[in-house]
Chains A and B, each alone.
Chain A
């Protein structure tokens, strides 16, 4: 069964550094999403992306965050200057149509020191 792939599985970064989280969505999917989950808390929406532009973003997704689809297969989340509170599990998801089930990757655990 096709799946969403995320790399790395764990990223440790110094506060203030830039980090890029990578995702390969399911190949025929056109809608892409990033979510985060702080340890022990619920999953929170960050951003949705379709047709090479952001469809919607949450209040969490401030100017420090950006997303990009650099080629036909990858979808990245960049955090420009990381803060301690950015420590969380970041999940990428994709769907083949809007308002269809979103399929999640295994996540990247981001630890900011």
Chain B
């Protein structure tokens, strides 16, 4: 089977740093993506890792360790607007994404 595990909920205060972890078990692996989804909205692409290491995009960074089947999304200088659900998604092949169960991030003032 294919599974991705994420914490269900994370809370933090404005200005803080938060890390959302993702562990995966899939039949194939081409890369790990991260998506943000506000309530009732579309998944919005944040970051993609195909190789081990850290990718930085502004306040967001994503890390991948293929040997550990593990990745994380790091959000820095948190803002209220970052309150949303965050999904990791694996590309087991080039034709689809398999999404994790999602982590609901609540940012407090």
Contacts and interface: CB of A to CB of B under 8 A. Distances in A.
Interface size class of B (residues with CB under 8 A): 20 to 34
Contacts of A103: 45
B62 interface: no
B100 interface: yes
B97 interface: yes
Contacts, number: 52
Nearest to A50: B95
Given A42-B100, A44-B99, A91-B42, A99 B94 contact: yes
Interface in A28-78: 33, 35, 41-45, 48, 55-56, 58
A101 B100 contact: no
Interface residues of A, number: 21
A100 B38 CA distance: 22
A7 interface: no
B96 A48 contact: yes
A43 B96 contact: no
